[in-house]
Amino acid sequence: MQLGALKFGTFTLKSGRLSPYFFNAGLLCSGPILYTVAQAYALILTTSTDTTTSSFPHFDVLFGPAYKGISFASTTSLVLHTHHNLTVGFAHDRKEAKDHGEGGILVGATIRDKNIIILDDVMTSGKAVRGSIDLVTREGGKMVGVVQMLDREEVGADGTSSTVKEVESIIGEGPGRVQSILRMRDLIQWLEKNGRSQELVAMKEYEEKYGLKT
């Protein structure tokens, strides 16, 4: 919030929904905040956050979808080395085709025959992460999981589906393969704790309307 990456107000999302909050991970762009974010990703990657689901299996490479994912994957691989004694590669894609020099759409660690985890900021419909999963798979990588910074915990356009569950079914290794650092319910809890009643009302209304019914 100090950096403006998380804002409360009224925002129109790509889906057309009027959201009482907006998250822009692109503003997480200083040394201290990148360090905090990378430590959070590293913690999720190395511990099981939910006792009902398994933690991630062995992974070799962190894939950061261009552009925002690049800094998260690179800094997280650094923290996995310094804080967790793990050697993990990092790779990202290019948004533009390249017609000279080293070709290809991928940059960084080789992903062929490797276990891959995608680091993402926030998935709404999940379209972007599906594209990344397709790319990793097409290039011979084996998808083992996705970690997103914020789970909006919303239903899809059909009114029932969960993006997290859909992406987990694409990965095909059962539940728990899509993890999140923060969830909508954490934001609500934070507003409650800090007595931000006006924002809280708007968030609860939104959750009532678009939140996952579990």
Q: Provide DSSP, 55-110.
A: ------EEEE-TTHHHHHHHHHHHHHHHHH----EEEEE-SS---SSS-SSEEES-
Read off φ and ψ for residue 94, nearest 5 degrees: -105, 145
- Is residue 81 part of the annotated active site? The answer reads no
Q: Which of 7, 81, 83, 98 is catalytic?
A: 98
- Is residue 84 part of the annotated active site? The answer reads no
Q: Which of 14, 100, 193, 213 is catalytic?
A: 100
Distance CA 182, CA 32 (A): 18
- ∠16-125-184 over CA atoms, to 5°? 85
As annotated, the active-site residues are 98, 100
